[in-house]
């Protein structure tokens, strides 16, 4: 026990405790003395302030000047001074004349005696002081008393005896002593706790022992030729010796940094941060091969406190390290090839990537030749290949004796390495090109130049995929003195095999992309129809990833109207393009029925639902053929959809398509549109203001269950409608609202034609790598001039037919259309007669002179006429037949309150009947 106490007393912890106790005692003593002096100072300052305040108050008391000038000042002032002294807690209040003779005092025996050192107050100055002398030491204040004229007529002296001030300080001493004792106790207790903790940490070691241990630690840690790292649980480096710094090239301030911040290579960082226990793990760090050991370090209660890492430079394994480095570099090159080759799915670019990845780490020059069908994306033919097109060439120098890219390379000598490799189906090595007679015989002049340039070794590798030759790669060495060897041959073959798969993938993608582009171009409109309602310009850009399903259309409608359509099919590739074509064809077919936009979208949605339901029971076999199971479900195992083998997964499902259909009437200036989940158009007013009209939120096509809603706008002449797909305004890096704001800014530029507006929009909004198709349609609206429109209200009387016919004939003569006047009269006569006979009021006639003459007869009935062949005995039924014979086109469209029967005639006389003397009045008796 005695030894333990002695050890504790002489330990570092004991010394620290003693030092802390002395420091605490000195600090508390100094603090207590400072508090005593401060209390004394504060008490004197308080006494000064109280004395001065009382003296000032008494000196300015009302009636004091008069009492001083009275015959007996003592009698009047002594009671007042005593009362003020008691109230203020002072020891004395004395009233004196200018010479210091007391009129009043707390001690009656001092009345009439002179006070000393009051000359400053007699001169008019108030002051305080610590007075020492008779009758007692005191803290006093002396204040002059002035009359109404400001003259000093007396003095007032107040004060507290110094003995009483000291008593006040002594009253605070118990508190100060208690506080000092408490602080001393707390400080000593804290020092004891710190000492105890330090004793536990240092295990009771003394200063000499700890110094000796530190010297041993430094000697062992930094003198050994083995790196040592200590890493904490927070992955921060706690300690690193000199050898570890050398082996890992650590900075001088590496301690306290996270292992990820030490600038090590990723593999070394992962090993140090993983925390796993390893033993003699051979690890490549930079250019050193290290033997690494990792062990956890244990702290209190067996808890892991981190780990210690030892590193040993395996210089005795230099030869093994060299081979490992070569193997590592080859593995790294294969890894880089897998990452870098085939990134674009472009055949030529894939060949370039193969040549780039092998130079200069494996070869000095690399050439890649491909068969012509492969470059086009076609399936290469079998048989012997004697010529290929050079697709890529990369070298360590810009000049080269080899044929440039684009040249046709022939392999006509069977013993040449290229021809031999193609014939054998595996790589062929020509370690010394000077001895490769077959290669030299293939092109004596060219090979001589190549040998003079320095080419001395070659590996020819056929590019084979699925057993089919796609091309070949040739690896050349010129500046590298070592020729290729057998290990290089196997590596080149592995590299070529990996590259061939990428080339074949790019070839197949090229073929499918070409098919999709061809299909899409055949399905999109090539020439827009001639019409006068709008001036149209358009742009279509496929996505970088491949052809998609966006489309647009401009459809001419009866009555000089026009339909503007834009749509989007989700997805890319042939299926999306085919789906787009089906939808566009369906829209064309439905537009011939002249349906309102909302009804047209409803029919389109119903058609898509029916198509999806009909094809839901269709499965696809391995050849891409449709088969149906006995139960009507999809064939195949488990009814699974086709996968990535090329069969149409979800083959005909159209759900996810959107469409915007707008109909513009140049006669009235009205535009009616409806949307099936598609973004609404941009509307640019003639003044240049850009709007995005509110559109009902329609659901995409194929979802079903909700009717579509249409909206109608009155558009002034020279308004501009801009229809677009969402690929124009949004992408991964831009949201839809931001895209609309940018589109509005671009469209607000004045004085731009539709074609110029398309160019402006694409220039401002096109993404560098668009991920979706872009369809853009810009249409400037036009109005049909009033002098090209003629309208009549027809009474429900047959006699009105001839009047309307004559009025129409006169209007045609005014328009200069006398050549077709008879045909127009015939058609008007038939349409008006039958509207009166079978329709209902009101009956109206309208002639429109556009690119053709449009005759329209409307009535309030929704009964649709039908074309039929009348029998020879029928008295009627030939009217509509005559209309169909003499009109270029005719049809019926329904309005909200009836129907319109229309017919179009060319503006030339080629369509008039052969019997110009036909009695038109007699035709009025013919029926539909």
Question: Is residue 689 scored above 50 in pLDDT?
Answer: yes
Cα-based torsion angle of the residue sequence 287, 288, 293, 294 in order, rounded to the nearest 10 degrees: -30
C-alpha pair distances (Å), 589 with each of 338, 444, 503: 50, 68, 43
**SS3 label, residue 479:** coil
pLDDT in tens, 241-292: 888 888 888 888 888 888 888 888 888 888 888 878 888 787 877 777 788 8
Residue 230: which pLDDT band, with cuts at 50, 70 and 90?
A: confident
- Residue with the two structure tokens 């031999």: 420
pLDDT in tens, 450-462: 999 999 999 999 9
Question: Is residue 676 scored above 60 in pLDDT?
Answer: yes
Cα 575 from Cα 656, distance rounded (Å): 13
pLDDT at 1: 43
pLDDT at 838: 83
Question: Is residue 591 scored above 60 in pLDDT?
Answer: yes
Mean pLDDT over 335-347 rounds to: 84
**SS3 label, residue 733:** coil
End-to-end CA distance of the chain: 132
Helix or strand (DSSP H, E) at 25: helix 12-59
Residue 390: which pLDDT band, with cuts at 50, 70 and 90?
A: very high
Mean pLDDT over 195-216 rounds to: 64
Question: Is residue 699 scored above 60 in pLDDT?
Answer: yes
Phi, psi values for residue 629, rounded to 5°: -75, 165
Nearest partner of 145 among 97, 78, 198, judged by Cα: 97
Residue 690 structure tokens: 């850009």
pLDDT in tens, 510-534: 887 777 777 777 777 777 888 888 9
Residue 732 structure tokens: 């991964």
Residue 356 structure tokens: 């780039």
Mean pLDDT over 181-193 rounds to: 74
**SS3 label, residue 566:** strand
- Residue with the two structure tokens 């050994």: 224
Mean pLDDT over 778-807 rounds to: 88
Asked whether 709 and 660 are in contact (CB, 8 A), the reply is no
Question: Is residue 397 scored above 80 in pLDDT?
Answer: yes
Residue 712 structure tokens: 């109608």
Cα 114 from Cα 365, distance rounded (Å): 123
Mean pLDDT over 800-828 rounds to: 87
> Which residues neighbour 703 within 8 Å (Cβ) at sequence distance 6 or greater?
605, 655, 677
pLDDT in tens, 155-164: 888 887 766 6
pLDDT at 628: 45
pLDDT at 624: 41
Nearest partner of 50 among 138, 149, 150, 172, judged by Cα: 138
Q: Which residue has the higher pLDDT, 766 or 213?
A: 766
Q: What is the DSSP letter of 332?
A: H
> Which residues neighbour 833 within 8 Å (Cβ) at sequence distance 6 or greater?
798, 801, 879, 923, 924, 926
């Amino acid at each position: 026990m005695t030894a333990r106490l002695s050890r504790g007393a002489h330990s570092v912890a004991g010394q620290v405790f003693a030092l802390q106790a002395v420091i605490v005692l000195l600090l508390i003593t100094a603090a207590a003395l400072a508090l005593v002096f401060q209390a004394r100072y504060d008490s004197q300052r308080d006494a000064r302030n109280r004395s001065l305040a009382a003296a000032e108050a008494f000196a300015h008391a009302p009636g004091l000047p008069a009492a001083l000038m009275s015959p007996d000042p003592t009698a009047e002032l002594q009671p007042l001074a005593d009362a003020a002294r008691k109230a203020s807690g002072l020891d004395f209040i004395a009233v004196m004349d200018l010479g210091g003779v007391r009129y009043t005092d707390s001690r009656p025996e001092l009345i009439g005696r002179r006070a000393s050192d009051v000359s400053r107050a007699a001169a008019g100055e108030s002051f305080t002081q610590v007075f020492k002398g008779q009758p007692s030491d005191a803290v006093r204040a002396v204040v002059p008393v002035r009359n109404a004229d400001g003259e000093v007529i007396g003095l007032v002296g107040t004060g507290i005896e110094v003995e009483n001030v000291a008593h006040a300080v002594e009253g605070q001493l118990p508190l100060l002593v208690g506080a000092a004792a408490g602080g001393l106790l707390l400080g000593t207790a804290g020092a004891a706790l710190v000492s105890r903790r330090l004793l536990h940490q240092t295990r009771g070691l003394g200063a000499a022992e700890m110094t000796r241990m530190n010297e041993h630690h430094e000697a062992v840690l930094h003198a050994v030729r083995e790196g040592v790292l200590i890493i904490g649980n927070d992955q921060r480096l706690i300690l690193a010796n000199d050898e570890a710094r050398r082996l890992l090239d650590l900075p001088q301030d590496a301690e306290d940094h996270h292992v990820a911040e030490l600038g090590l290579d990723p593999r070394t960082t992962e090993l140090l941060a993983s925390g796993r226990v390893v033993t003699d793990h051979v690890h490549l760090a930079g250019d050193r091969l290290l033997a690494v050991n990792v062990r956890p370090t244990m702290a209190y209660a067996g808890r892991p406190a981190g780990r210690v890492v030892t590193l040993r430079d395996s210089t005795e394994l230099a030869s093994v390290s060299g081979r490992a480095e070569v193997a590592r570099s080859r593995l790294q090159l294969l890894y880089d090839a897998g990452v870098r080759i085939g990134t674009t799915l472009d055949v030529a670019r894939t060949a370039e990537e193969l040549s780039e990845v092998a130079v200069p780490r494996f070869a000095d020059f690399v050439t890649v030749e491909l068969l012509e069908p492969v470059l086009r994306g076609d399936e290469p033919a079998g048989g012997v290949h004697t010529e290929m097109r050079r697709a890529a060439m990369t070298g360590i120098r810009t000049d080269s004796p080899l044929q440039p890219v684009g040249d046709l390379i022939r392999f006509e000598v069977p013993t040449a390495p290229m021809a031999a490799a193609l014939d054998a189906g595996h790589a062929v090595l020509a370690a010394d090109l000077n001895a490769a007679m077959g290669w030299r015989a293939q092109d004596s002049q060219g090979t001589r130049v190549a040998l003079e340039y320095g080419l001395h070794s070659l590996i020819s590798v056929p590019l084979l995929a699925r057993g089919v030759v796609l091309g070949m790669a040739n690896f050349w060495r010129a500046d590298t003195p070592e020729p290729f060897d057998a290990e290089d041959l196997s590596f080149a073959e592995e590299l070529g095999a990996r590259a061939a798969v990428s080339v074949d993938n790019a070839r197949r993608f090229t073929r499918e992309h070409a098919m999709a582009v061809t299909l899409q171009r055949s399905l999109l409109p090539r020439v827009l129809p001639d019409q006068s309602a709008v001036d149209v310009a358009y742009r279509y850009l496929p996505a970088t990833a491949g052809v998609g399903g966006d489309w647009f259309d401009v459809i001419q409608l009866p009555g000089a109207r026009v339909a503007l359509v834009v749509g989007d099919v989700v997805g890319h590739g042939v299926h999306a393009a085919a789906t787009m074509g089906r939808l566009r064809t369906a829209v064309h077919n439905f537009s011939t029925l002249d349906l309102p936009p909302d009804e047209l979208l409803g029919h389109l949605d119903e058609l898509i639902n029916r198509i999806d339901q009909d094809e839901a029971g269709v499965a696809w076999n391995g050849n891409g053929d449709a088969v149906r199971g006995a139960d009507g479900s999809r064939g195949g195992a488990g009814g699974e959809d086709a996968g990535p083998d090329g069969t149409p997964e979800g083959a005909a499902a159209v759900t996810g398509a959107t469409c915007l259909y707008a109909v513009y009437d140049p006669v009235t200036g009205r535009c009616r549109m409806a949307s099936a989940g598609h973004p609404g158009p941009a509307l640019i007013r003639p003044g240049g203001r850009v709007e995005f009209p509110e559109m009902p939120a329609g659901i995409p096509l194929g979802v079903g269950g909700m009717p579509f809603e249409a909206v109608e706008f009155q558009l002034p002449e020279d308004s501009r409608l801009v229809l677009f797909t969402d690929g124009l305004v949004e992408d991964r890096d831009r949201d839809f609202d931001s895209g609309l704001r940018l589109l509005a800014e671009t469209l607000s530029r004045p004085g731009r034609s539709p074609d110029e507006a398309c160019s402006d929009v694409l220039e401002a909004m096109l993404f560098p790598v668009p991920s979706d198709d872009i369809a853009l349609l810009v249409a400037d609206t036009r109005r049909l001039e009033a002098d090209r429109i003629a309208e009549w209200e027809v009474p429900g009387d047959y006699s009105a037919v001839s009047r309307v016919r004559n009025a129409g004939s006169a209007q045609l003569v005014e328009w200069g259309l006398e050549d077709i006047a008879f045909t127009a009269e015939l058609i008007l006569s038939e349409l008006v007669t039958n509207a009166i006979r079978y329709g209902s009021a009101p009956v109206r006639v309208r002639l429109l002179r556009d690119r053709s003459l449009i005759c329209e007869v409307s009535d309030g009935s929704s009964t649709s006429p039908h074309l039929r062949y009348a029998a020879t005995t029928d008295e009627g039924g030939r009217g509509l037949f005559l209309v169909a014979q003499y009109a270029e086109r005719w049809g019926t469209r329904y309005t909200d309150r009836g129907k319109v029967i229309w017919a179009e005639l060319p503006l030339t006389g080629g369509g008039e009947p052969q019997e110009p003397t036909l009695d038109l009045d007699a035709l009025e008796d013919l029926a539909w």
